[in-house]
Amino acid sequence: MKLIPFAAEHLEVGASLPFDLFDAAGRLIMPRDAVIQDVTQLGRLTAHDLMVDEDQSAEWRLARQRERELADAFDDAFSPKAEAAEAAPPRLELISELGLVQQQLNVLLLEVSPDDKWVPRLLAVAGRMRDLMDEHADALLFLVLQRAVRRYEHYSSRHALLCAMTSSLCAQQLGFEAAELRSLAIAALTMNWSMTAMQDELTLRERTPSLDQRIRIDRHPEMSATQLKEAGITDTLCLDVVARHHQDGPADLPLGALSAADRLARVLRRLDVFFAKISPRLSRPGMPATLAARAACLGANGEVDEVGAAIIKVLGIYPPGTCVSLANGEVAMVLRRGAHASQPLAVSLAGPGGAELKVPQLRDTAEAAHRITGTVKPTDLRATVNVADLLAMM
């Protein structure tokens, strides 16, 4: 076994170790998969000259190297010159465009020691997302949502991106001011920053959170707001929204009677809950969107309120990426919103017997033969999903 130095700045409270941790004398001080419970324990660890096994840490070091390379390439990829060169990419290129945005956001959210470039890079990500949404909102919602209900990896950055895109659309429906939209987008992208690594890890674990992890989850709104302020975010509305994003504001008050921070936080909390419920974990499947909508769209009186109505207007009853059964027996995937909330445009991928269709068929669910009769678990869809082909049908 060959031990090599390890920088303590990569340690994080609430996250488990991907490898054994040794002191300078080669003594094991913390085993692989152990969770750093609190700041006190973190302090004891950082008091040592830390070492790790070269082979055991190879995969982790390679991942960090790739993240650094992405960060180094950030300025070129998001420069004004690059944006001007192709302001509105063709829809088939949106897959790679979206992948780049999420990669860069993932790098930023995993950063535990941000430098003076962190805030400008975050603003660049938000700007690129906003530009793409202005031209391709339906296509982007489909791309992110179909991944959200089918995949586990990089949950935290994907969830943040999804909340940011959708909250912006909902805020527009609600008539929020442009400055509020900008604050809300940054808040949505960063609301879980203080627990990004732990959140990604828990998504891939079959066990439920430990007590210490549960406490960290409960405290993360305030912790994330503090980290953002320390990193250089000066937008007080954004900071307040992050700190309050698990609150719905005074339940008996309509949206118009709330402060700006409470208004934005109510929108963000509802979407945060909705997308968390429909996203699968290794420990549980995702909840059907029709059930998850109850927590997102209903106000204190049990009826759809202003925020709920905006969410339904933006996503529909069956959001893009949802697998549904049709009246003719086919199984389809929702592509985009339709004229009515319960009647989206969908693509049939499997026939009445469950066999994959050789050629996917575009279906208007407003037609009686193609009426939606229920939702289908993504894992029950026995058909290949070629996202690029489906995107071209929008």
Domains, in order of start, for the chain: 3-63 (no CATH), 90-315 (1.10.3210.10), 323-392 (no CATH)
DSSP string computed for 91-112:
GGGHHHHHHHHHHHHHHHHT-S
| pLDDT confidence of residue 85 | 41
- Residues listed for the chain: 394
Q: Compute the C-alpha angle 93/97/101, nearest 5°.
A: 170
For residue range 299-320, what is the model confidence (pLDDT) as tens digits?
888 889 999 999 999 999 999 9
Q: Name the residue type at position 77.
A: A
- CA–chain centroid gap for 154, Å, is 8
48-77 mean pLDDT: 72
The two tokens of residue 278 are 């429909």
Mean confidence (pLDDT) of the chain: 88
> Residues with Cβ < 8 Å from 93, sequence gap 6 or more?
none
To which residue do tokens 């960060």 refer?
71
Nearest-Å Rg of the Cα atoms of the chain is 22
Q: Name the residue type at position 224.
A: S
| pLDDT confidence of residue 176 | 96
Residue 225 has pLDDT above 90, yes or no: yes
Q: Name the residue type at position 393.
A: M
| Sheet containing 3-5: order of strands | 3-5, 51-53, 21-22, 28-30
In the Cβ-directed half-sphere of 118, how many Cα atoms lie within 13 Å? 20
Residue 69 has pLDDT above 70, yes or no: no
Residue 377 has pLDDT above 60, yes or no: yes
Is pLDDT larger for residue 186 or for residue 300? 186
**pTM of the predicted model as reported, rounded to 2 decimal places:** 0.78
| pLDDT confidence of residue 74 | 53
Q: Compute the C-alpha angle 143/329/371, nearest 5°.
A: 65
Element at 231 (helix H, strand E)? helix 211-231
